[in-house]
């Protein structure tokens, strides 16, 4: 039992004793020795279960009467003003969605009825943890939110570039985000998960292990929005005209293939250009190189759901593409930037509950919580229930309702009657045929706070993901875990994390423990369900295995000097333009250079502001005199050394060899270096660049 004790307010601020807790009235209560404070609601009511929302049975829908969840998510949604609590740093673009073929057999959603029809769309990409002013290349999940303005209302597919999530139940969302945000007593680190609070939470939340593998992989540091996948994360339903249900998972696949950067690159890019992803999307669209993704669906019935190894309602699990092949059903093209960033990208409001008739929800408890939460978020951010009056959020189809008044109302019902039913026959009426209908799922079970047993395997898919990575990708995961955990000050947290990693892969856990200087390995963490080792590798989970077949959409950086060979430069520009790639010139001065035949060429960057980390491959087109001058420039040496260390392909004219030597690189160090002499060598260089990286080099380079 707690008893009151008197203490002056000034003295109370100096107390750092966990046996004292403060009541809502400011009074202090002392706990008996060994007691732990009881978790309560803001009204003081003791909480029996803070891990699970109240549901109908273990796998049924969540209940609106769950006042503890409502209060918790309500408070969380209103913690920040005016930027988003999560996904604060974002960038968006307009475009359209084009349907390939009719999906009427599966869904009555209007946008999937007519082949070739184009529907307006708006997409917002984002990071999760950082503030609006943070940098683009934080190690983080990327939001991939799509608003499609269909003929029957807006459809918001509010997803990420990772198909699973940290938690299984929405009641834990405030906790995971609190843990990854800057620590509240010191307000840092910003946009980073490498600190005690995050890893303390993760080490106590085994369900996060699958997501941790993704976030510690190169998926969390994408090269560009244009080169990353998007996922709806949850299991949804398609409903056809006969209300027959088909489960569906949504996947966006980039036409340009997958690509990420190395962590060492990300750190340097954030210093050289913290707006790297924003600038990339802007430049691509402004130059007419419109980014494009295909929407793929995984369709399955109840029989498949019942036979699958894992619960399809568990948001920490995925269905491997080798088991259920994704079907392309349409394409998304982004072809126009917003006229005003704030009016559109900042004020756009995405909500998972925005679905047209023919798309419905599953009982995924994380999805159920998101459906409930998002209205609060929009009210807090945009200041009014009338946020749908803002043009970016307004539907582009006819609409009619009786909602009126409120702050910033731009339109109200016209006439005398603003209610329904009414005897005048005025105003809109419901339409049982065209209107949204939920799947008639029979649910009968006791009300309870319980995690279903089918959600209990937290390691098997994490192991499958790790085993699906190529050698370089596995190495990067180990390096990321080592870096992150090296920033954790409390040894017990590091030990708990290694114990979890041993359940994912023994060699991975041992390697991380060794790098952290742990003298002995802990025993593997207790697993509610023993991890399986019979799940086959899924090549679809690897970035390297799903890279591009060309250098299209990528960027070549060419370091030039006065007196350089204009013919080689022209050949490079022509060859990479044919490849649909961008060529940018870097020179000692941004004013440019003069080639050996006297032609003046402006540069895009000066050497101090155009490091090689900004490019996917580099070329050195230098004269002997120009190379000699650049030997005295530390930034020129770094330009070459970083490109080599980051496993990029390098082309160079013979006069540039001394600069390679200055960076400690032999001209014939490996197959990734090409001497540029004539058109044949330029063609060979383009062919090499299509591979993006020479991963074989990585083993010999110590960053």
Select from 530, 503, 522 the least CA-distant residue to 208.
503
| CA gap 651, 689 in Å, rounded | 10
| CA gap 203, 301 in Å, rounded | 35
| CA gap 470, 696 in Å, rounded | 12
Please report which residue ranges of 528-678 form alpha helices under DSSP H: 566-578, 624-630, 634-645, 657-662
Cα 177-180-183 angle, rounded to 5 deg: 110
Select from 653, 131, 75, 604 the least CA-distant residue to 377.
75
HSE (side-chain half, CA atoms, 13 Å) at 515: 19
HSE (side-chain half, CA atoms, 13 Å) at 590: 6
The DSSP code sequence of 346-406 is: IT----TT---TTEEE---HHHHHHHHHHHHHHHHHHSSTTGGGSTTTS-SS--------S
HSE (side-chain half, CA atoms, 13 Å) at 431: 11
Please report which residue ranges of 50-193 form alpha helices under DSSP H: 67-77, 173-180
CA 179 distance to own-chain centroid:
18
Answer yes or no: are the C-beta atoms of 312 and 247 closer than 8 Å. yes
Instruction: Identify the active-site residue in 68, 87, 277, 646.
Output: 87
Question: Could you tell me the CA-to-CA distances from 427 to 151, 423, 437 in Å, in that order?
Answer: 20, 11, 21
Structure tokens at 107: 């869904």
Helix H or strand E segment including 126: strand 118-127
User: What is the length of the chain?
Assistant: 703
In 243-302, beta strands by DSSP E: 245-254, 292-300
Instruction: Identify the active-site residue in 52, 68, 94, 160.
Output: 160
- What's 52's DSSP letter? S
| CA gap 136, 125 in Å, rounded | 11
Answer yes or no: are the C-beta atoms of 311 and 454 closer than 8 Å. yes
Answer yes or no: are the C-beta atoms of 57 and 448 closer than 8 Å. yes
Q: Has 87 been annotated as catalytic?
A: yes
Residues forming the active site: 87, 160
């Amino acid at each position: 039992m707690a008893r009151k004790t008197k203490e002056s307010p000034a003295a109370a601020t100096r107390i750092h004793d966990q046996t004292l807790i403060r009541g809502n009235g400011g009074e202090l209560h002392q706990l008996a020795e060994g007691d732990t404070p009881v978790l309560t609601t803001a009204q003081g009511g003791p909480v029996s279960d803070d891990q699970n929302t109240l549901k109908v049975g273990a796998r049924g829908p969540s209940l609106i009467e769950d006042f503890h969840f409502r209060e918790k998510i309500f408070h969380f949604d209103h913690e920040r003003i005016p930027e988003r609590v999560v996904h604060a740093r974002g960038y968006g673009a307009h475009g359209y969605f084009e349907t390939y073929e009719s999906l009427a057999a599966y869904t009555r959603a209007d946008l999937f009825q007519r082949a070739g029809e184009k529907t307006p769309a708006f997409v917002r990409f984002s990071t999760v943890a950082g503030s609006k002013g943070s940098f683009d290349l934080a190690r983080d999940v990327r939001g991939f939110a799509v608003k499609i303005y269909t003929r029957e209302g807006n459809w918001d597919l509010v997803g990420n570039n990772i198909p699973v999530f940290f938690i299984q139940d929405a009641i834990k969302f405030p906790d995971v985000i609190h843990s990854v945000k800057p620590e509240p007593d010191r307000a840092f680190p910003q946009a980073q998960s490498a600190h005690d609070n995050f890893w303390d939470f993760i080490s106590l939340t085994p369900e996060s292990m699958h997501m941790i593998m993704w976030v510690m992989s190169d998926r969390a540091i994408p090269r560009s929005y244009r080169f990353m996948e998007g996922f709806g994360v949850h299991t949804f339903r398609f409903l056809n005209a006969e209300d027959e249900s088909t489960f569906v998972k949504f996947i966006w696949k980039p036409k340009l293939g997958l690509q990420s950067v190395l962590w060492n690159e990300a750190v340097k890019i954030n210093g050289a250009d913290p707006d790297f992803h924003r600038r990339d999307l802007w430049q691509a669209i402004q130059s007419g190189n419109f980014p494009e993704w295909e929407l793929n669906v995984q369709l399955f019935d109840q029989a498949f759901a019942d036979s699958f190894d894992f619960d399809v309602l568990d948001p920490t699990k995925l269905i491997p593409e080798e088991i259920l092949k994704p079907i392309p059903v349409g394409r998304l093209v982004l072809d126009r930037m917003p006229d005003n960033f704030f009016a559109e990208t900042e004020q756009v409001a995405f909500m998972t509950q925005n679905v047209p008739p023919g798309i419905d929800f599953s009982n995924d408890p994380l999805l159920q919580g998101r459906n409930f939460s998002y209205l609060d978020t929009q009210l807090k951010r945009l200041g009014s229930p009338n946020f749908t009056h803002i043009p970016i959020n307004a539907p582009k189809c006819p609409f009619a309702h009786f909602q009126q008044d409120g702050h910033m109302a731009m339109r109200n019902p016209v006439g005398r009657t603003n209610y329904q039913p009414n005897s005048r026959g005025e105003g809109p009426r419901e339409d049982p045929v065209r209107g949204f209908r939920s799947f008639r799922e029979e649910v009968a079970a006791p009300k309870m706070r319980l995690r279903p047993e089918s959600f209990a395997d937290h390691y098997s898919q994490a192991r499958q993901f790790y085993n699906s990575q190529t050698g370089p990708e596995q190495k990067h995961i180990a390096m990321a875990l080592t870096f992150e955990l090296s920033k954790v000050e409390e040894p017990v947290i590091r030990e708990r994390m290694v114990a979890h990693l041993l359940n994912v892969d023994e060699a991975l856990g041992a390697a991380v423990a060794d790098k952290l200087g742990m003298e002995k390995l802990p025993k593997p963490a207790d697993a509610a369900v023993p991890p399986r080792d019979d799940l086959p590798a899924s090549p679809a989970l690897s970035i390297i295995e799903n890279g591009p077949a060309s250098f299209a959409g990528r960027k070549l950086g060419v370091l030039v000097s006065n007196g350089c060979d204009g013919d080689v430069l022209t050949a490079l520009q022509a060859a990479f333009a044919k490849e649909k790639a961008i060529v940018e010139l870097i020179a000692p001065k941004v004013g440019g250079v003069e080639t050996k035949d006297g032609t003046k060429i402006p540069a895009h960057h000066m050497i101090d502001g155009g490091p090689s980390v900004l490019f996917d491959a580099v070329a050195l087109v230098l004269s002997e005199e120009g190379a000699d001058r650049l030997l005295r420039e530390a930034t020129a040496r770094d330009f070459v050394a970083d490109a080599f260390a980051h496993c990029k392909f390098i082309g160079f004219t013979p006069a540039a060899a001394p600069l390679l030597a200055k960076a400690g690189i032999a001209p014939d160090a490996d197959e990734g270096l090409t001497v540029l002499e004539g058109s044949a060598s330029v063609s060979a260089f383009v062919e090499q660049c299509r591979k993006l990286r020479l991963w074989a080099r990585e083993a010999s380079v110590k960053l």
